[in-house]
Structure 1
């Protein structure tokens, strides 16, 4: 599924089934004095975890494709999302000539959240019709499933991050960054829905394709305090200095219960500039990066066409 189709409710003809869909956006601007830094932070985080059958079924229905009559689909979807702004304070120091670190603490205020689980099954009864039943347990600020009108709560919480740079030997360097350690957001008067949903209430368009207005049997309520947990994300990079000009690099990323790895290297162009590249086999994506003085820029993508683009990462930093 391309990024463009994901933002258009999965509409599009280029479908490739999978089990994960996520975006993590971190925008920070601030100042640093000696060991301390303070900055304003804005985040947009969204994670979906689903079964491949769920992905296939949703794509077929979203695009009103002919359904395989008689086939049964497993429906299993988990979601966790926040939109937040906040303040981040960090402290950096060198423990020795070979080891430096930075610890950061973010205070977050959030105005959007969604966390929950949908599980059930669907049976195709006609090329344009299906039956389904599912259990649902989710908390939200906007009810996307049943259009319940709610008073939007506000979330407040904290997140810890940590990074270090360790020169293991004269030729080997290890860098590690971990975000969202012990991250929690607390939502007062948080709306939630628990129960079972079915396809008993159906409508059909002019072409006879089914449209379901889901029926809920269960509970709609408000929790006094709902605690939303954010999973840790980490990025590790090991660099081996081959000679004065070239190095080799290995990277590992782990986020949203999904691990990725890359191999690559870089070349020194001038005393203050280095150009590098890496390949991420699981994503089939190429990363290009440029370091110039205090600026670091990296771009990763698995293609150039927006209709086929499934992986896109952009990273930019200056001063830290």
Structure 2
């Protein structure tokens, strides 16, 4: 029996704490990505079969640097840039689900194993959509005059309205139910006595189907020289079913073991928007395996401990978690009989 929890979070423009709160932080940096991925598993291995329960959480955002800058300026009551063009883009994928997983291990030979799993999912929450806009500013002081013109559109689907659409008196804008499946694959192999590889694909070609799913579509056109200045049109409605593609996660690792008890690995983590690499060093004996880790792109560092029954890994780019832009943690406990 094995219980495991892992979480990965990253915010490129601001510390994670400020990004999730009100963007009130002086250390703003241009960026395009932010994500939070979490998974909890309770599973039992019986021969080549693995069965278990899974809780999964994904929140992945991809945005233009102008979008991050504009939102930061608005939240901090700062003037938007004068005489500038703003290219605004935001894509959001959020899903919260639970499910039952069944997997099987194929031993291709003594050195190579392939695992394939399928998880039957029940959806709990979701948001899926995009915002696009382009505009031009002037050097005027008043905000309504400072924006010369703006054209944009929003298209998103959800289980619960995020923009107060439920206050429009259009009925119950809540999804009826969500269900679907997730596929995962793992390849473990040993090239020779010094080199090993591991590849994990999670939520590939995986979908949730939301029945009676509400959605919103808006178009906005603003011109300070027109009267009225703003034209906002759109619709709020319900689809019979919405098909949401889950954001995939890919983890890979290649290990080099020059001498016992030392080993070194290069690992990576990818989602639809970016890939992060880690350099890892390990020392182990018959009782425990200790590791130190670094992620050059985010300047994060970490430590890990692995034992037959328990283990953990923690990494961050700052000791003060309120200032961390990158955090990752994992924990497992298992019992073999």
Question: TM-score, normalized by length of structure 1?
Answer: 0.89
> Are 1:89 and 2:102 counterparts?
yes
Change in CA separation of 1:153 and 1:199 when aligned onto 2, cut-off 3 Å: farther
- State whether residues 171 and 240 of structure 1, in contact with CA within 8 Å, keep that contact through their aligned partners in structure 2: yes
Q: Tell me which residue corresponds to 2:191.
A: 168
Flag the 1:275–1:314 CA change in 2: closer, same or farther, 3 A.
same
CA apart distance, 1:292: 1.0
Give the equivalent residue in structure 1 for 2:153: 135
Could you tell me whether the CA contact under 8 Å between 1:67 and 1:128 is conserved in 2? no
Instruction: State the 1:115 CA deviation.
Output: 0.8
Confirm or deny: 8 A CA contact 1:157 1:186 kept in the other structure: yes
The answer to whether the aligner puts 1:11 opposite 2:24 as a matched pair is yes
Aligned position for 1:237: 253
**2:161 is the alignment partner of 1:147:** no
Q: Relative to 1, partners in 2 of residues 1:172 and 1:316: Cα closer, same or farther, differing over 3 Å?
A: same
How far, CA to CA, are the matches of 2:300 and 2:200 in structure 1? Answer: 21
Aligned to 2:242: 226
Q: Does 1:159 align with 2:182?
A: yes
1:180 to 203, 208, 216: 203
* 1:100 corresponds to which of 113, 117, 124: 113
Correspondent of 1:295 among 287, 307, 310: 310
Q: Which residue of the other structure, out of 278, 283, 306, is the alignment partner of 2:321?
A: 306
1:197-212 matched pairs, under 5 angstroms: 197=220
Instruction: Give deviations 1:173-213, integer Å, cap 9, x for gaps.
Output: 1011110121011111111112303569xxxxxxxxxxxxx
What is the CA-CA distance between 1:93 and the residue it aligns to? 4.1
Rounded Cα–Cα distance in structure 2 between residues aligned with 1:72 and 1:127: 16
Match of 2:219 in 1: 196
Deviation at 1:160, TM superposition (A): 0.6
Relative contact order, higher structure (CA 8 A, sep 6+): 2
* Cα contact 1:111–1:153 (8 A) shared by 2: no
**Is residue 267 from structure 1 mapped to residue 283 from structure 2 by the alignment?**
yes
TM-score (normalised: structure 2): 0.85
Deviations 1:205-246 (A, max 9, x none): xxxxxxxxx974022211111100013211110111110111
Q: 1:25 to 1:141 in 2, by over 3 A?
A: same
